Amino acid sequence: MTELNCPYCNFDEYDVLAKNDFGVVLPEPHSLSKGHSVIVPLRHVSSFFDVTDKERKSLMSLLEQARNELNLKYQPTGFHIGFNDGHVFGEETAHVHIHIIPRYDNQKLALDSRWGFEN
């Protein structure tokens, strides 16, 4: 099931970094660091707690695949991984997505309003 105005339901196939039967890895359009990506279930679902076991396992598999690819491509020092669940911080979409944000030495992570921080 897709939602007409949902950017995570209506992604461009050319943007896909990785994909499996239940999810996709996409570049984050409002990146907080080089390589910032999101892992998204293909089914429009608003809460991580509403995904099926198969979807959850596939999302975790894609998260690991994204980490491996980002390590090869950018060699970050580490990662910030997280997501918001529910309508918090003025979230623009009700489609659950997991952020994987590469972290680099001597680069502060400036979290923004998506994470409840004001700049």
CATH classification at residue 86: 3.30.428.10
In the chain, the percentage of residues whose pLDDT exceeds 70 is: 83
Do 60 and 76 form a contact (C-beta atoms < 8 A)?
A: no
Residue 26 scores a pLDDT above 90: yes
* Structural domain includes residue 61: yes
Alpha carbons 41 and 77: distance in angstroms, whole number: 27
The total domain count for the chain is: 1
User: What pLDDT shows up at residue 3?
Assistant: 74
CB atoms within 10 A of CB 116: 11
Partners of 26 in beta bridges: 38
* Structural domain includes residue 108: no
Mean pLDDT throughout 101-114? 78
Buried b (16+ CB within 10 A) or exposed e, 44-56: bbbebeebeeebe
* Structural domain includes residue 3: no
* Structural domain includes residue 1: no
State which residues form the domain around 47.
13-95
Do 95 and 3 form a contact (C-beta atoms < 8 A)?
A: yes
Of the pLDDT bands very low, low, confident and very high (cuts 50, 70, 90), residue 100 is very high
Nearest-10 Cα torsion for 43, 65, 49, 110:
-110
> pLDDT for 37-95, tens place per residue?
999 999 999 899 999 999 999 999 999 999 999 999 999 999 999 987 766 655 566 88
Name 57's Cβ contacts closer than 8 Å, sequence gap at least 6: none
* Structural domain includes residue 2: no
* Structural domain includes residue 8: no
